[in-house]
A and B are shown apart, each in its own frame.
Chain A
Amino acid sequence: MDSGNAFVAALQLIAGFDPDFLRVVALSLRVTVTAVLIAALIGLPLGALLALSRFPGRALVIVLFNALMGLPPVVAGLIVFLLLSRSGPFGPFGLLFSPTAMIIVQAVLVLPIIIALTRQTVEDLWREYHDHLTSIDLVGLRAIPTLLWDGRFALATALLAGFGRASAEVGAVLIVGGNIAGYTRTMTTTIALETSKGDLPLALGLGIVLITLTILINAAAYGTSRIGIRYAG
């Protein structure tokens, strides 16, 4: 019924350069990009470390991170909410209902994906290049930067998977961000809000914008990696 109106609404949103709408888009991107960067800075080295090290209980840790890739966002949201609430352990920082809280919860959701996929990628590369790296005396932890660099295209996909999970998410950011107009309102929480107000064309229009943005970002990443492969290969 409303699909025609939705496209009109989407076009109006984009063409109108409505400042409120642009703020929502900017906030969504800022939160998700920051969360993915933080998760990458922690997850890439940690995943590689997990791939190369051997310790008792390693299998358990691997299974745990693999399982956490499916951590329900609403659970992550609830945990972060309880931690950041004024009555929780990190209450004095006053972070609840802020973009920082949303970055934290998205980083929590993205981190297991990056750790698990990095671990797998680096482990495969290590198996393949073990002899070569050993021969040039790159062993142990010193091999990590090289392996991460060699696996960069596979790892870029891992980051995109993380980006997708974070940008598509609504439950967790709603709980810890509070969907405050002009402050913590993201694209997904706006869609949820407009749906609840019964403005389905606008909600769907926002959905179209979100999907288009996601496609553009993925296209840019794919293009970059093609160019990279051509010049690196």
Chain B
Amino acid sequence: MLRRTLLAAGFTVVALSGAVAQTAAPTADNRFITVSSTTSTTDSGLFKELLPRFKAKTGIEVRVVSQGTGQALDTGRRGDADVVFVHAKPQEEKFVAEGFGVKRKPVMYNDFVLIGPKSDPAGIKGSKDIAAALKAVQAKGAAFVSRGDKSGTHSAELTLWKVADVDIDKDRGGWYREIGQGMGAALNTASAMNAYVLADRATWLNFKNRGELDIVVEGDKRLFNQYGVILVNPVKHPHVKKADGQIFIDWLVSPEGQKAIADYKINGQSLFFPNATQPGA
């Protein structure tokens, strides 16, 4: 009796694991590439618009891992992605110079905006001078949330502090709050404590938990935010899917891909502006 029930139990376990293994089997068409990209391209909904079009045309599935730019480039360095699609030109050029990437191609741009509470304790709302605005935030000691995660937005923020002539390592105080998290988390944090925060416009437009937050500074040309795409170097990482990765890159910078980017709008507002053909972008 005991032996029989034991046998039955054993059978059940084997059958169950078999059933699970079967559902776990990968599907037959397995043509895919892995792209490490920034949180902004995913959080803004851009990929949801682009990738189905690309797949319909080429049959290639694009698997996007969204991370901050620094982490996304590291993912490429380790060979865990075929293509990186990020927004920090100096870091991208370094990536290529080190031999981890084949060639950087500009794809599109949007801009950063300084977000702040409607009460505007630093008194900068409506300004078009990001340097003066940041200087005022620091002078008033108004709460400011920093990504602090080596992302593209974080490195842009650090550059802007320099432009504003603020030595953020020295001049930081309790008002400067480095959270080490993604754009969404930074906006949530700023919303919770009515702080200023630098954000890319696309993520901001798609962000729902705004509370008292609004755009306070925009339109300064120093808030320009360029995106680039790079194929991970197959010489460093032989398993990189260079043919399919290149097809994706070529599509992004092709008239068709560029149009798809321009077509993506929220409430009639474009989120990204294609500029693959602009020299020096």
Chain A residues with a Cβ under 8 A of chain B: 30, 33-34, 37-38, 40-41, 85-87, 91-92, 94, 96-97, 99-100, 103, 145-146, 149, 152, 178-181, 183-184, 193, 195-200
Contact = CB atoms under 8 A, between A and B. Distances in A.
Nearest to B213: A198
A152 B63 CA distance: 42
A196 B239 contact: no
Contacts of B208: 197-200
Contacts of B34: 97, 178, 180
B188 A196 contact: yes
A49 B194 CA distance: 57
Contacts of B21: 34
Contact of A96 (B2, B23, B80, B209): B80
A198 B13 CA distance: 42
B78 A30 contact: no
6 contacts: A94-B239, A99-B24, A146-B6, A178-B65, A197-B208, A198-B184
Q: What does DSSP make chain B's interface, helix, strand, loop or mixed?
A: helix
Given A37-B13, A37-B17, A149-B2, A198 B79 contact: no
Nearest to A37: B17
A138 B48 CA distance: 61
Contacts, number: 91
Interface string B43-69: 100011000000000000001111000
A37 B18 CA distance: 11
Interface in B148-202: 181-185, 187-188, 191
Contacts of B206: 197
B78 A196 contact: no
Contacts of A199: 208-209
B187 A198 contact: yes
Given A97-B80, A149-B2, 18 more contacts: A34-B21, A34-B24, A85-B79, A85-B80, A86-B237, A97-B63, A97-B65, A146-B2, A149-B5, A179-B66, A180-B64, A181-B48, A198-B187, A198-B188, A198-B209, A199-B208, A199-B209, A200-B208
Contact of A41 (B13, B64, B237): B13
A195 B80 contact: no
B138 interface: no
A91 B24 contact: no
B10 to A, nearest CB: 9
B180 to A, nearest CB: 13
Nearest to B237: A86
Nearest to B207: A198
